[in-house]
Amino acid sequence: MSSTFFELGVVVKLGVIVYIISYTVTESALFDPLRTSRRLNGREKLRDLLSCHFCFSFWVSFAIAAIYGYMLPGFGNFFFDVFFNGLLLVFVANLLYVIMEILRNFRKLIESADYWVYRRGKD
């Protein structure tokens, strides 16, 4: 892969991976015991990090950017490249998060509308 070309497909795929990892750790029942663990009683910052999708996605995206390498034209400095590529992945991942939240809320709106239409027909 050439480091001089912006590869949108790679960025979107890695953004989806960041979204999935962040959502799974911060909101799924699978990691709920970790988020509510007694070991985190004195570590409020760590508990906040494991409960905040936006915060956790930064760390995941920087780790993936460091592992994967270059997605944007490089600055020639590894730390700058990881930082800016990580920010790009955070943007894509949180854009996906916003889209999914809109879809979830829309589904709830439709379900509540169906409920009231159903109730109106019974009265």
- Torsional sign, CA 108, 113, 118, 119: positive
Torsion sign across C-alpha atoms 115, 120, 122, 123? positive
pLDDT in tens, 73-109: 667 788 888 888 888 899 999 999 999 988 888 888 7
Category of 69 on φ-ψ map: left (φ > 0), alpha (ψ -120 to 50) or beta: left
pLDDT, average across residues 1-8: 56
Count of CB atoms within 10 A of residue 112's CB? 10
Among 92, 82, 103, CA closest to 17: 92
